[in-house]
Amino acid sequence: MLGHPVHPMLVVLPLGLLIGAVLFDILYLIFGGTTFPLVAGYTMAAGIIGGLVAGVFGLVDWMAIPPRTRARRIGTLHGLGNVLVLVLFGLSWLLRYPETDWRPNEFALTLSFVGIVLGAITGWLGGELVDRLGVGVDQVEDLNAANSLSRKARAGRPAAGGVG
């Protein structure tokens, strides 16, 4: 998208929403009431939907990583781990939905808490892909590179616009 990989741009919102859902769960455990579970449920649903959209672009980026590389192995763990994160949050949401005011039971809370811990691990793996292995980073540019929209910047880029 305009000279940058799309997946890293999209993951920020769903990750923030899922973290927010867990924070509202914690607030519910501390203060009780009916508002926190409702907000957690809506926030979680939006995070799951956003995660699915980000995952589509992540899959496209993963397919561009050469096979039999460390980056491909880490990308596989990152992607499969994030699928599991979305499954855990999805199950947590499904357990809440039929309840009055979407109040989570202990199992629903456990699923979201495990999901957020796993999300931190898969987020670290995503950082490893970009920061350590340079996936999605334009290797020919420098700290004084031209704007990614300029002709000068596009002249040396591969047709796909990078991975990440």
Helices of type H across 105-159 = 106-127, 151-155
Write out pLDDT tens, residues 9-26.
899 999 999 999 999 999
| Helices 106-127/12-31 angle, 10° precision | 150
User: Can you tell me the distance from the alpha carbon of 157 to that of 143, in angstroms, rounded to the nearest whole number?
Assistant: 16
Write out pLDDT tens, residues 102-112.
999 999 999 99
DSSP letter assigned to residue 130: I
Q: Are the C-beta atoms of residues 163 and 5 closer than 8 Å to each other? A: yes
Largest CA distance in the chain: 58
Lowest pLDDT segment from 29-38, 52-61, 130-139? 130-139
pLDDT for the residue numbered 135: 83
pLDDT for the residue numbered 97: 92
Query: How many CA atoms are closer than 13 Å to the CA of 79, on its beta-carbon side?
Result: 20
pLDDT for the residue numbered 162: 46
Query: What would the mean pLDDT of 69-83 be, rounded to a whole number?
Result: 96
Q: Are the C-beta atoms of residues 86 and 48 closer than 8 Å to each other? A: yes
User: Can you tell me the distance from the alpha carbon of 39 to that of 36, in angstroms, rounded to the nearest whole number?
Assistant: 5
Q: Are the C-beta atoms of residues 82 and 48 closer than 8 Å to each other? A: no
